[in-house]
Amino acid sequence: MLRVGLTGGIGSGKSTVARRLVARGALLVDSDVLAREVVAPGTDGLAEVAEAFGDGVLDAAGALDRPALAAVVFGDPAARERLNAIIHPRVRERSAELIAAAPADAVVVQDVPLLVENAMAPFFPLVVVVHADAEERVRRLVRRGLAEADARARIAAQASDEARRAAADAGLCNDGTERDLEAAVDALWERRLVPFEANLRQRRAASAGAPRLVGPDPEWPAAAARLRARVAAAVGERGRGVAHIGSTAVPGLPAKDVIDLQLGVDSLADADAVRDVLQDAGFPWHPGIDHDNPKPPGSPVWPKRLHGSADPCRVVNLHVREVGSPGWRYALLFRDWLRADAAARAEYLAIKRMAAERYAGDADADRYVEVKEPWFDAASERAERWAATSAWVPSLD
């Protein structure tokens, strides 16, 4: 099962996207619908709302008077918090019930209007955000009957477009026609959601294919930040920090389009204990890859666990190592040395290009790595000298 978080600002077209996904076969769990359900007449949720805000938020028939409630909470953050404390736990409980009843191969789309505002993105294997120009959103809301000032106030009260983009693994632009949006949803469904679900269910990691270097991507740090948060949320207290490592963590360095992360744990027993939660979060385990190649030659084996990503559009290597171990330390040292030493970056890039050219068309990643190993072996002493002279200490960032 794949759980997808779907969000977007008011008037962005999120409901259109949700309908199209359902038409393609997704199971929709709509937080707005559930928020109404949990305060329907006769529910304990409605009783608690009335107790908190008074009978003035009820209509003549005893149902919730939504405009009256909105007038009470819209401009009062403390009142909104009281309301959320009543509604949100009930919505989460009902959502969990619906998800538990879904088929094993389902793509479950959770429509959550305040996903970004409530910092929920790390708890989904994938987050989809629907975007639309702010002025177009205002026009849509006015056509629905809202006063323009009210429409602008509601947009301003929600997360910014920048915050939503930072949370988005996939973005859908809805500045065009509904047909354009539906075509974009169809492409997302076929190229990403369906294969993601299959990979996740079969505990299968997506492959980067043959080694191919691309220019530095300004989106790599943001993608790594989302993935780091997702890993940290999955492992909870057993984790000891998640770092962005490897070439995509070095600004300005061409690299394979692969995000390398390092999760620190106290012991490999903890690494094995979090295996299943990482797999459920979208990071399948690579069985049989349980150590690094020795660095430098003759050094002991450096044990680890390796996970990948089930997302076909975002290849990831997640290295799980003991905090303070040689492998954990070296990954951070090598990254920071390359960041600081332009000559080392140039040398490393030349080696990477040679390896990529030699094995262009060969999907065996081990061959690509083997070409680089001699350079790594010689460079490790230089990195250690840099660490000693710069008073370097390991840092996740």
- Inter-residue contact 130 to 174 (CB < 8 Å): yes
User: 171 among the known binding-site residues?
Assistant: no
CB 141 within 8 A of CB 11: yes
H helix runs in 205-290, sequence order: 220-235, 268-273, 275-280
246 in a known ligand binding site: no
Give the Cα separation of 294 and 303 in Å (integer): 10
Fill in the DSSP letter of residue 208: -
Strands annotated E in the chain: 2-8, 27-30, 107-111, 126-131, 170-173, 242-245, 258-265, 291-292, 302-303, 305-307, 315-322
Tell whether residue 14 is among the known ligand binding residues. Answer: yes
Q: What angle do CA 75, 78, 80 make, to 5 degrees?
A: 65
Estimate the crossing angle of helix 14-24 against helix 178-188, to 10 degrees: 50
Return the H-helix or E-strand segment holding 352: helix 342-358
With H, G, I as helix, E, B as strand and everything else as coil, classify residue 3.
strand
Question: Quick one: which of 192, 226, 204, 324 has its CA closest to 268?
Answer: 324
CB-count burial class (<10 Å; 0-12, 13-18, 19+) for 332: buried
The residue type at 227: L
**Has 176 been labeled as part of a binding site?**
no
Cβ–Cβ < 8 Å for 323, 265: yes
For residue 267, say whether it is annotated as part of any ligand binding site: no
295 is in an annotated binding site: no
Residue list for the binding site: 11-16
Annotated binding-site residue numbers for ATP: 11-16
